[in-house]
Amino acid sequence: MHFKIAEEDKTNHRYSGVLAHPTSFPSPYGIGDMGQGAYDFVDFLALSGQHLWQVLPLGPTTVGDSPYQSFSVFAGQPLLISPDLLKKKKLLKEEDLQNIPEFDPDHVEYEKVQAYKTALLKKAHTNFLHTADKNLLEEYDAFCDSNEFWLLDYCLFMAGKDHHKGLPWYEWEDGLKDPSPQERKEWSDILKSDVNYYKFVQFLFYSQWYDLKEYANKKGIAIIGDIPIFPCFDSADVWANKEMFCLDSKGFPLEVAGVPPDYFSATGQLWGNPLYDWKAHKQDGYRWWVERIRNQLDQVDYVRIDHFRGFEAYWAVPYGEETALNGKWRKGPGEDLFLVIRQALDGELPIFAEDLGIITPEVERLRDMFEFPGMKVLQFGFEGGESTFLPHQLDTRNCICYTGTHDNDTSRGWYENTTEQNRDKIRRYMNTDASSVSWDFIRTCLGTIAKYALFPVQDLLKLGSEARMNVPGSPSGNWTFRFRSGLLDKGMAEGLKQLTELYGRFG
């Protein structure tokens, strides 16, 4: 069900909310999940008068733990499954949750969490195989039936990875690397137990997520999801749909994704994702993309597409390059793709466009043709002279103003590490002594003409660079931020509510 925060979409309604990935929520199990910490966060949003909650991609992460590198663009992250909710479903027992390892309360220790939670999920699956709960069994069957278009590929892929000790699919033997229908059936039989386990895990994820989403929607809060434009090379998406990507006869990419030198890196960013064969997608009626967006809008209410400019033109780097310097711009599908998606979804495209970086008039035309809100980041506005990101330079209401994003330093961290010239401009522009500079940023963000105002939870908590979510180009140490229970208290909620009302963002 898609939830709208306002039917009068063309009116002057203004909204605000918080960017917080579920992994950051308080939890005794080493990582935030869809349990009590998530529900407490939704309650805080409602109490503080917010209407938006933005998350990062929710898929199962690969090496490096980045939510933007996932084993599937359709599947959910098993680590977000709440053990407490499994106990309520009688899939785990009280004694299963007695000996919790000592986890870092401020950072996710992914390897440690992975080992602990996988053991719990295996126990839950064993209990499920012996359950007499008919409703649970019927819910499981219904989930498998309605998600068959991606679920079977994903589960066989993950079972195949386990069988090959985690090796990427392009290093498997030919019979599973590129299986014929008969070989696929044979492997499905061989790996049946593991395939069924992965189906069960996805059932758990989606069951808990849909309950959480329904709770948020009933509180008047819409969820903004996030999807990377390109899937990971070692993913079920590429393995099961090789014909939709630019691969050679052995399954390796001809070119890979990235961006040229930019704000974050002098040599560009080399992401390494395989590129789409857009001709093949068009011949297939963009079926894979239609299903992807449909699936996302089943999970969330709005979708932010990361690297939106790649639909107009994308940076293609020869496979094997060590940096992104030697790439070329190649044309994307442009409006053709979104016209097809819009028709398939009955005219509804609740999409936000991540339009940062090298943006051309052609990208802007594509964004504006479908009335996709673009992004304005306040931190960028105060780094130098007159910038289109400065509040007095915003030229449209149809945009999202951020204090910063998951790729930026926290507002306090940015302020502490920028030049004195920039700090002076902040103090004068915001009329502040900067003693609570992250809230100065929040207040300024709320006061812009932007229809949507969003700020990371780290800024609400006045945290510095130690709480940064991601440093682009840095291979390790990212995505680990957690905050402790009780920090988002009633006093903070009341202060945020007063600011939200002051700037007319109270729905």
Mean pLDDT of 438-448: 98
H/E element holding 160? Answer: helix 148-163
The alpha carbon of 265 is separated from its chain's Cα centroid by a whole number of angstroms, namely 22
pLDDT tens track for 363-402: 999 999 999 999 999 999 999 889 999 999 999 999 999 9
pLDDT at 3: 56
**Annotation says 306 is catalytic:** yes
Res. 10: pLDDT tops 80:
no
Report which of residues 357 and 487 the model is more confident about. 487
Res. 444: pLDDT tops 60:
yes
- One-letter amino acid at 324 equals A
pLDDT at 182: 97
pLDDT tens track for 61-74: 999 999 999 999 99
pLDDT tens track for 155-193: 999 999 999 999 999 999 999 999 999 999 999 999 999
Q: Residues 100, 104, 107, 112: is their CA dihedral positive or negative?
A: negative
List, edge to edge, every strand of the sheet that includes 399-402: 351-353, 302-306, 222-228, 52-54, 15-19, 452-456, 399-402, 374-377
pLDDT at 247: 97
pLDDT at 11: 61
pLDDT at 4: 56
Q: How confident is the model at residue 472 (pLDDT cuts 50, 70, 90)?
A: confident
Buried b (16+ CB within 10 A) or exposed e, 73-90: bbbbbbbbbbbbbbbebe
- One-letter amino acid at 98 equals Q
Q: How confident is the model at residue 265 (pLDDT cuts 50, 70, 90)?
A: confident
Mean pLDDT of 310-337: 96
pLDDT at 8: 44
Tokens of 336: 């053709």
Mean of the per-residue pLDDT values for the chain? Answer: 95
Res. 6: pLDDT tops 80:
no
Could you give the CA distance from residue 149 to residue 336 in angstroms, rounded to a whole number?
A: 23
Q: Would you say 456 and 403 are in contact if contact means Cβ atoms under 8 Å apart?
A: yes
**Annotation says 173 is catalytic:** no
pLDDT tens track for 253-262: 999 999 998 7
pLDDT tens track for 183-238: 999 999 999 999 999 999 999 999 999 999 999 999 999 999 999 999 999 999 99
Alpha-carbon separation of residue 88 from 125, 135, 138, 198 (angstroms):
15, 14, 18, 21
**Annotation says 407 is catalytic:** yes
Calculate what percentage of the chain has a pLDDT beyond 90. 93
Q: What is the DSSP string of 354-376?
A: ---SS--HHHHHHHHHTT--EEE
Q: Would you say 481 and 469 are in contact if contact means Cβ atoms under 8 Å apart?
A: yes
pLDDT at 507: 59
Res. 416: pLDDT tops 50:
yes
361-369 and 335-344 helices, crossing angle to 10°: 10
Q: How confident is the model at residue 1 (pLDDT cuts 50, 70, 90)?
A: very low
Q: Would you say 400 and 226 are in contact if contact means Cβ atoms under 8 Å apart?
A: no
pLDDT tens track for 94-113: 999 999 999 999 999 999 99
The distance between the two most distant Cα atoms of the chain, rounded to a whole number of Å, is 70
Res. 473: pLDDT tops 80:
no
Output DSSP code: residue 462. T
Tokens of 192: 């049946």
Catalytic member of 65, 234, 354, 459: 354
Domain ranges of the chain: 241-371
Length of the chain: 507
Q: Give the global pTM.
A: 0.96
148-163 and 287-299 helices, crossing angle to 10°: 90
Catalytic member of 306, 355, 440, 459: 306
Tokens of 250: 């052995």
Catalytic member of 65, 301, 312, 407: 407
pLDDT at 239: 98
What's the N-to-C CA distance of the chain in angstroms? 21
Beta bridge partners of 253: 247
Res. 276: pLDDT tops 80:
yes
Q: What is the DSSP string of 221-242?
A: -EEEEEEESS--SSSHHHHH-G
Alpha-carbon separation of residue 118 from 113, 388, 487 (angstroms):
8, 47, 29
DSSP-derived pairing of the beta strands 255-259 and 269-274: antiparallel
Q: What's the chain's Rg over C-alpha atoms? A: 23
* 41 torsion bin: left (phi>0), alpha (psi -120 to 50), beta (else): alpha
Mean pLDDT of 36-59: 98
Res. 9: pLDDT tops 70:
no
Could you give the CA distance from residue 236 to residue 77 in angstroms, rounded to a whole number?
A: 14
